[in-house]
Amino acid sequence: MNNPVILQFFHWYYPEGGKLWAEIEQQAQYVGELGISHAWLPPACKGSDGGHSVGYDIYDHFDLGEFDQKNSVATKYGDKAGLLRAVEALNHAGVGVMMDVVLNHKMGADEKEAVKVNRVDESNRTEIDDEVVACEAWTRFTFPGRAGRYSRFIWDYTCFSGVDHIDNPEEQGVFKIINDYTAEGWNVEVDAELGNFDYLMGANIDFRNQAVRDELAYWGRWLLEQIPCAGLRLDAVKHIPAWFYRDWLAYVQSLREAPLLVVAEYWSPDLEVLKHYIEQVQGRTMLFDVPLYMNFYCASQQGEDFDLRTLYDATLVADDPFHAVTLVGNHDTQPLQALEAPVEPWFKPLAYALILLREQGVPTVFYPDLFGAGYEDQGQDGNTHHIGLPAVAELPALLRARQRFAHGIQTDYLDHPSCIAFTRSGTDDAPGCVVVLSNGAEGEKSVCLGAGFANKTWCDYLGKREEIVTTDDAGNGVFTCPGGSVSVWVLEEHRES
C-alpha cells in the first residue's frame, strides 16, 4: 500500500435526504486521483431515527437502507442500492471502503419488557444501589419491518446490561439490568472513567451473553459478504470490553485473505491508556492519535506561544507509529459537537502537512476540510448557531505531494519553538521534499541534504514562496516559509512531472 490515506467521507451535520451515497459515487474518481486509499463511510445501518439518523443510534445492523423501518426505507445517506453503487465507484477508482461499526448499544426498541434493575450513580458507575426496582424497559428488538430476513435473532433484556430510561416507575438515569449475565456488575476491560465506563447510552449490549457474541460474529461475516470492505472503523471502543474486540477482530480477519485496515475510536488524550488498549487487543487495531490531535488544537489556539518542539511529546505516532492513525478533525470535534475542539483554520495547513508528509502513522482527512461544509444547529447555550467550515485550500496539493514527494528517509529539524522542518530523502523511484513550518514570523531553516543534492534548484510546491533555493556544492540550502504557514520545497525539475 503506497502511502495510505483515509478520507472520512462525512460529517455530523451532513444534509439529510439520501444525498451522500450519490455524492460519493460522483466524487470517487476525484478522491482516487488525490491519492485517497480508503474512504471511511458513516454508519450505514438503520438508526432509531430512521432517515434522520446520523447512524450512531443503531437500531438494526441488518438494515442497510433496504427495509421500511423507523418511518423510512433509506437511511439519512441513501438506500442500499445507492450504497452499493458508491462502493463500486470507489473500488473502481482504487479506493477501499471502511465501514463504521457500532456495537456498543442499540436504540429504538420495538417493545417494552418487564425487567428488574438497580439504580446506578451516574458519576461513579461502580456505586450500584442494592434496591431491586421492578419496572419496564425498551429492550425487545424484533425488527418487524425486516421480518426475519438475513437474521431471525430477537434481542431481549438478557442481551443488555443497562438502560438510561425505565417506565412504571418512569425515571431517567443509569440502570443496571438484572439478568443471568450482570450479577458481577458491569463488564471489565473498559475505560475507568466514571469508575467503569461500560455504559454509554441506550440499551447497552452485554458481550458476556454467548448468543450476543454469536450474532455479532455472524453479522460481521454478513457485512463482509454484502460490502467488499477494505477496512473497519470501530466506534466507542472505550465502552466495550477489550476481550470482545480482540476475539471478534481475529474472527473477522480470518474471513479475508487481505489484511483489513482497522482503526478504533478510543477517545483519550492519555498515551498510556491508548497503549494499554492496544496491548489488550493484541495489536489487532490501530487507534486515532488523540494526544497529537489535542496538541494540534492547543497549537492553533496559542499561536506563537506554543512550542512546536513539543508537538510530538507523549503522542501515539511518536511512541507506536505502526498503530497510529493521525487526524486534524472529525465529526465529534467539529463545532457544536460534544467533544468540540476544532483546530483553527490558520493552523490546518500546518497540521495536514505534519500528518500527510511525514513517514509515521496513517493520516485521516476530514470531509469539510476537503469539500467545505455549512450547517446550523442549537448550541449548548440554547441559541441557533450558523457554522461555516471552508475547505483547506492547500489540502489537494498536500495530498498530491504525499503521493509524489513523501518518500525516503525522514530527517527532523524540530529545533526551534516557532519554526520546525523535516526532510524526506526520496528514493530511486520517487523524489523527496523539504517541509518548513512556522507558527510565528517568517521562518527559515538551514538544511543539509548531502552531496547527492549539490547544486540543485528547489521551488515551493504550494506556491507560498516565489523565489527558488539553490543548494551549494555540499547540498546545503536555506529554506523558508511565510509566517504562520507552511512551505513544501521540491526539486524544480519534478514540480510538474
Active site residues: 235, 265
**Residue 136 bridge partners (DSSP):** 114, 167
C-alpha cell of residue 332? 465529534
Question: Which of the 8 DSSP states describes residue 128?
Answer: B
User: Which cell is 201 given?
Assistant: 447510552
Show the beta-strand stretches assigned E in 216-283. 229-234, 261-264
**Cα–Cα distance between 146 and 151 in angstroms, integer?**
9
**Residue 243: closest CA among 203, 188, 175:** 188
Residue ranges for the known binding site are 104, 198, 206, 239
Please report, as a single letter, which amino acid is at residue 212.
V
> What is the distance of C-alpha 150 from the center of its chain?
29
- Residue whose C-alpha cell is 486515532: 288
For CA atoms 99, 103, 105, 107, give the dihedral sign: positive
On whether the CB atoms of residues 221 and 254 are closer than 8 A, the answer is: no
User: Nearest-CA neighbor of 457 among 437, 474, 477?
Assistant: 477
Question: Please, are residues 481 and 452 in contact by the beta-carbon 8 Å criterion?
Answer: no
Binding residue numbers for Ca(2+)? 104, 198, 206, 239
Q: 304: burial class by Cβ within 10 Å (0-12, 13-18, 19+)?
A: middle
208 grid coordinates: 458476556
Question: Residues 343, 351: contact at Cβ < 8 Å?
Answer: yes
**Cell 417494552 sits at which residue?**
112
User: If DSSP codes are grouped into helix, strand and coil, which group holds residue 181?
Assistant: coil
**CA separation for the pair 3, 398 (Å, rounded):** 13
Angle at 109 between CA 105 and CA 114, to 5 degrees: 105
Q: Of 225, 227, 207, give the one whose Cα is nearest residue 215.
A: 207
Q: Can you list the positions of beta strands (E) in 168-281?
A: 171-177, 203-205, 229-234, 261-264
Q: Which residues of 111-136 are buried (b: 16+ CB within 10 A; e: fewer)?
A: ebeebebbbbeeeebeebeeeebebb
Which residues of 290-350 form beta strands (DSSP E)? 324-326
By the 10 Å C-beta count (0-12 exposed, 13-18 middle, 19+ buried), 301 is classed as middle
Burial of 353 (0-12, 13-18, 19+ CB in 10 A): buried
For residue 337, what is its C-alpha cell?
459537537
Cell 489556539 belongs to residue = 301
